[in-house]
Structure 1
Amino acid sequence: MASRREGARDSEWARHWQYPGVPGLDLLRARYVRHSFTRHSHEGFVLGAVRRGVEDVVMPGETIRARPGTVVMINPEVPHSAHAGVPEGWSYATLYPSSTLVAAIAEEETTLRGTAGFGETIVEDEDTAQLIRAVHRAAEEGNALAADSVLRVAVARLLHRHGQSLPRREPLATGARTAALARELLQQRMAEPPSLEQLARELGTSPFALLRGFKAAYGMPPHTWLTNARVRTARRLLESGTPPAAAAAAVGFTDQPHLNRHFSRIVGVPPGAYQRERARTYKTVEPPGP
């Protein structure tokens, strides 16, 4: 199990992996005490169930306290951060279903139209929290039928109880159009990004106007967004077998420790542990344990 250290009362451990039996799903099971997640977002959904302790999740405009019996639901591209809400930290199971997987379940099992998502960020729902943990157990046992079945039941239940059609994107105003162009330039020049002043000059605006417009559009300033984008790209490189040091250089981090620090604070495990799990789960399907 990746990055696991047992024994001390304040020990932390985590496993972030994919199970080949359920395409379109990442899984994270962990106990964190001192660890914190910096502001970031995901391309897909986040469905989390705390088993012990309290996790404070900082969402736009509010901080929610995730306790046992609750389910946290975060829609794609919504910026958030997290840290322990009590001295003993928290342990939890989290599912990261892709947008494509959730959309397929919504189309088959609900009457939601357009882009399906969740209208609430946290709910009291012990039954579904147990299902989230059951998906992990089934995947860890190598039971593809159970893992896939329980995942679909859990997502369908959450969509029925708390789902809604997400608002359609309105035509971009001038500030949002400029922010979108800035994002494209940062993506293209990830390894050697311009300064805020240079970026603003290229786009024909001022640094503060760009800073305000970018944060309004994406919920985080350009430098935070760039770190998140670098980690996303590094994940894909690691999954393809690129060594961590080479991945760090490719996305613009100064060295591997620089990648390690940011990767761990966004993904929840170091890049080496992430890559080892991907190599194991992509290339081999292990039989159930004894």
Structure 2
Amino acid sequence: MSGDAQVSAWRPEVNGIVEVLHAYFPSHAYPSHTHDAWTVLMVDEGVVRYDLDHREHGLAQAQISLLPPNVPHDGRSVRPEGFRKRVLYLAPDQLGEDLVGAAVDRPELVDPVLRRRLHQLHDVLVDGREGFEAESRLRLIEKRLRQHLRRQAIAPPDSRDPGVAGRLREVLDANLPDGITLDEASKLVLAHPTHLVRAFTREYGMPPHRYLTGRRVDLARRYLLEGRPAAEVAGLAGFYDQSHLTRHFRRMLGVSPGRFVRR
């Protein structure tokens, strides 16, 4: 593998799938970020290493990685030639909030049947003409993912009070495009700004500003997949202008907004 990054992303007309991403990254490393969707990841070439909730994991071609919504993770190639991957982003309610803890504990799955079914679904999604088949294959995949997660969920779901960090995340999510100052957030959360930053960083593994930028990039990619031009998307997602969007988009995804959307 060699050359420039290659990315193809689109939103299929399949209920439950919010995005499909096929990509080759010769050198790009994802910074720590979150998604509001379940991430089902297959590596087709190379080996990926990533941190999820402060714990290091590895992903090779025999495995599938299932990353839960709103849990920080990054990603980088183990080998100098980079990696090629295919990703499904599933709506957060497709697998259930009660299974998040099990996915955090054991995100890697070794299941040849599941991998084969994912490969078949990706082929159908690339073709784009067999919506009913795609939905049928997706339901089988979701069922098998739930079976894996429930076997792993030997402990009860985490019932902790989300506390200051959780309340700040809710405030940031509610003010995603327009943004909010730290002082304004501190008044809503009823905590000192310094305590807000420390509590959030300790809980989610990244400072609030990095979380906000990552969520804005996530929002921007949704608008791009709707066919909106990058200049319009920049404002809709909360960036100052198109160059501001491009800088953060390229840092997060390794390509510019213009090269992200499937042609």
Normalised by the shorter chain, which TM-score bucket? 0.7 to 0.9
Alignment of 1:267-282 (within 5 A): 269-274=255-260, 276-277=261-262
What is the aligned partner in structure 2 of residue 232 from structure 1?
A: 218
Partners of 1:135 and 1:232 in 2: CA distance: 23
Match of 2:232 among 246, 250, 254: 246
What's the secondary structure of 1:115's corresponding residue? helix
Q: Give the Å deviation of 1:136.
A: 0.8
Question: 1:12–1:240: structure 2 CA closer, same or farther, 3 Å change rule?
Answer: closer
Contact 2:38-2:67 at 8 Å conserved across structures: yes
What is the aligned partner in structure 1 of residue 118 from structure 2?
A: 132
What is the aligned partner in structure 2 of residue 216 from structure 1?
A: 202
1:255 aligns with 2:241: yes
Question: 1:137–1:210: structure 2 CA closer, same or farther, 3 Å change rule?
Answer: same
What's the secondary structure of 1:116's corresponding residue? helix
Alignment of 1:141-156 (within 5 A): 141=127, 142-156=129-143
Partners of 2:10 and 2:218 in 1: CA distance: 15
Partners of 2:203 and 2:211 in 1: CA distance: 11
Q: Give the Å deviation of 1:57.
A: 1.5
Relative to the length of structure 2, the TM-score reads: 0.81
What is the aligned partner in structure 1 of residue 69 from structure 2?
A: 76
Question: 1:83–1:198: structure 2 CA closer, same or farther, 3 Å change rule?
Answer: same
Match of 2:11 among 9, 14, 18: 18
Structure 1 unpaired stretches of 5+: 1-7, 104-113, 281-290
What is the aligned partner in structure 1 of residue 84 from structure 2?
A: 91
Q: Give the Å deviation of 1:269.
A: 4.9
Question: 1:245–1:115: structure 2 CA closer, same or farther, 3 Å change rule?
Answer: same
Question: 1:130–1:208: structure 2 CA closer, same or farther, 3 Å change rule?
Answer: same
Contact 2:250-2:256 at 8 Å conserved across structures: yes
Partners of 1:149 and 1:185 in 2: CA distance: 36
Root mean square deviation, CA, Å: 2.9
Question: 1:102–1:186: structure 2 CA closer, same or farther, 3 Å change rule?
Answer: closer
Query: If you compute each CA radius of gyration, which structure gives the higher value, 1 or 2?
Result: 1
> What residue identity is the alignment partner of 2:139?
R
CA displacement, residues 115-170 of structure 1 (integer Å, 9 cap, x when unaligned): 33435111222332222222111111233233222222222112212336672543
Partners of 1:253 and 1:65 in 2: CA distance: 33
CA displacement, residues 174-212 of structure 1 (integer Å, 9 cap, x when unaligned): x34xx5147516743754643x56755776644432211
> What residue identity is the alignment partner of 1:23?
N
> What residue identity is the alignment partner of 2:171?
E
Question: 1:54–1:214: structure 2 CA closer, same or farther, 3 Å change rule?
Answer: same
Contact 1:190-1:226 at 8 Å conserved across structures: no
Q: Give the Å deviation of 1:18.
A: 1.6
Question: 1:153–1:37: structure 2 CA closer, same or farther, 3 Å change rule?
Answer: same
Question: 1:238–1:89: structure 2 CA closer, same or farther, 3 Å change rule?
Answer: closer
Q: Give the Å deviation of 1:219.
A: 3.5
Count of residue pairs brought into register by the alignment = 255
Partners of 2:160 and 2:224 in 1: CA distance: 36
Partners of 2:134 and 2:173 in 1: CA distance: 38
> What residue identity is the alignment partner of 1:16?
A
Match of 2:24 among 16, 24, 31: 31
Relative to the length of structure 1, the TM-score reads: 0.75
What is the aligned partner in structure 2 of residue 171 from structure 1?
A: 161
Partners of 2:107 and 2:176 in 1: CA distance: 34
Contact 1:93-1:132 at 8 Å conserved across structures: no
